[in-house]
Amino acid sequence: MSLVLDPAAQDLLFREARTANTFTDEPVTEEQVQAIYDLVKYGPTAFNQTPLRITLVRSAEARERLVQHMAEGNQPKTASAPLVAILSADNEFHEELPALFPAFPQAKDVFFAERPAREGSATLNAALQAAYFIVGVRAAGLAAGPMTGFDFEGVRKEFLDDDHTPLMVVNIGRPGPDAWYPRSPRLAYEDVVTTV
């Protein structure tokens, strides 16, 4: 066998996992979210930077504010999911690099002194971390509904600040009735992989 990961785990994380569109009302606990983060924080990033920031939207008042910024088709599922997370990139992540990358603490100033360089790196590496987060949600036996259909500037102003760039909103919970759309096709290996 080419993969060492148990086939059931492969199914849980990838083959059978789907983007959920409905959820049960079973709560997602703080302990579950912490376990997810404590697993996925080990995913690799450049210079071990950790620009991902997670804003958990739990209160009814905050949920109402968020739903107003979601695209129309995303509003009902965001309103009814047990937990919603706003994933953003911290553009000031470089301040933590001396502690997070002790092998080269000067990376903070050598590579990330200028804001445009930081923003590009923060976006790329936080997106990597967001993907790990989604897989972590699946590893917890939950379903994730990641969405980019929302007013980015509205969400930033409502929940973040100028140093944070929203990347996606993720609904989290146990899948409800008719949670899945039909599986969409994927490209074949030979359509993606080239050897040179």
**CA separation for the pair 1, 58 (Å, rounded):** 43
Local structure of residue 14 (DSSP, 8 states): I
pLDDT grade for 119, boundaries at 50, 70 and 90: very high
pTM: 0.95
Give the orientation angle of helix 30-40 with respect to helix 115-139, to 10 degrees: 120
The closest alpha carbon to 94, from 79, 109, 84, belongs to 109
* Beta pairing, strands 164-173 & 83-90: antiparallel
pLDDT at 11 over 90: yes
Rounded mean pLDDT of the chain? 96
Rounded Cα distance, 21 and 171, in Å: 8
Question: Can you read off the two tokens belonging to residue 125?
Answer: 């590496």
Q: For residue range 120-140, what is the model confidence (pLDDT) as tens digits?
A: 999 999 999 999 999 999 999
Nearest 5°: CA angle at 22, between 21 and 28?
110
At 126, which amino acid appears? A
- Fold of the domain built from segment(s) 19-176: NADH Oxidase (3.40.109)
* Helix, strand or coil, per DSSP, at residue 87: strand
Q: Please name the residue that has the structure tokens 């590579």.
A: 111
Rounded-to-integer distance, Cα 98 and Cα 49, Å: 10
For residue 80, the model assigns a pLDDT of: 95
Longest CA span, the chain: 55
Domain boundaries in the chain? 19-176
Helices (H) and strands (E) counted in the chain, each on its own, are 9, 4
Per-residue pLDDT tens digits for 141-179: 999 999 999 999 999 999 999 999 999 999 999 999 999
